[in-house]
Amino acid sequence: MEAKLSESLPEDGAWQFEPKWDGFRCLVFRDGDNVDLRAKSGKPLGRFFPEVVAHVAALAPSRFVLDGELLIAQDGSLSFDALQMRLHPAESRITKLSRETPAQLMLFDMLQAPGGADLMEAPLPDRRAALEQFYEEIAPAEGFLLSPETKDRSVAEAWLKEAGEGALDGVIAKPLDGAYAPGERAMVKVKPQRTADCVVGGFRYGKDSDLVGALLLGLYNDEGKLDHVGFTSTLRNAEKPELTRRLEALEEAPGFTGNAPGGPSRWSTERSSQWVPLKPELVVEVRYDQITARRFRHGTKLIRFRPDKAPTQCTFEQIEPVAAGGAARWLSGQRAK
């Protein structure tokens, strides 16, 4: 079941609110000796998280289906980058990481109860009750956490304020009377939105076009070098011709003097090297949601150009975490009340 993005929590209707976790969505299937972990895309995850497979196989209930989130905590914060490092072809590497940075499974829904009862059509309160009973029965099993929930919107608002500081990724709202709807955006997700001023260090043309398709964004590191940190492609079609001419007039290598597009990274694609370097003169303000390994995890939204801002003022200090250790209380075995 998916969620649609909203700028605010719903006010009308009956909702259950839960933290939105910064991890890998994971469906857990147990049938006797068979344990299968599946990503949201349907791809298998078990080989990348052998410690989680072992934890599931060790449980007394032998048949169930759960929905949850794989999480890894480092230095008191959830680390999406540590999760991505698990997607490695070498089994020896995965085994080493599973010992050094073990993953936990945050549970938030039950689709099949122990014994085989199908809960897919059951309303959320019934599924939640089954999940809480299951969790009580397996406690204190290693590697499992139960996601908190609340019907109080003010509590959810407080969670939302905490999001983005090393703990939560936002808040999820689930309709109380809803069945589990695979593939449908039946839930609502709200994520904190932050802004940063970035230097335009380059651009890419649109596919099969001579007009700009995306601006490449940079921030200055502690050594005074401009690192590539992401992109924005939310450009208005009517403005692209003039913007393209403006950008082409600024063409000058190297564009980025630190980490540049096309360098080794798990974000690199075939088109990563197909970009035009620019003089570091243009500054834009963009809205972003998450930072991973000092990069914008997703594409950003262009808010405005900042001619009043000096490029050298665009540093990583803007996007450093406000606080560390925010995940500690969430991952210390906290259980739903």
Question: Strands 185-190, 2-6: parallel, antiparallel or unpaired by DSSP?
Answer: parallel
Mapped onto helix, strand or coil, the DSSP state of residue 294 is coil
Q: Where are the beta strands (DSSP E) in the chain?
A: 2-6, 15-20, 24-31, 34-38, 63-71, 73-74, 77-78, 104-112, 144-146, 170-175, 185-190, 194-205, 212-220, 226-232, 276-277, 283-288, 291-292, 295-296, 301-305
One of 20, 151, 174, 189 is an active-site residue; which one? Answer: 20
Alpha-carbon distances of 209 from 206, 213, 241, 262, rounded to whole Å: 5, 8, 11, 21
Whether 191 sits among the annotated catalytic residues: the reply is no
The answer to whether the CB of 26 falls within 8 A of the CB of 39 is yes
Which residues are the active-site residues? Answer: 20
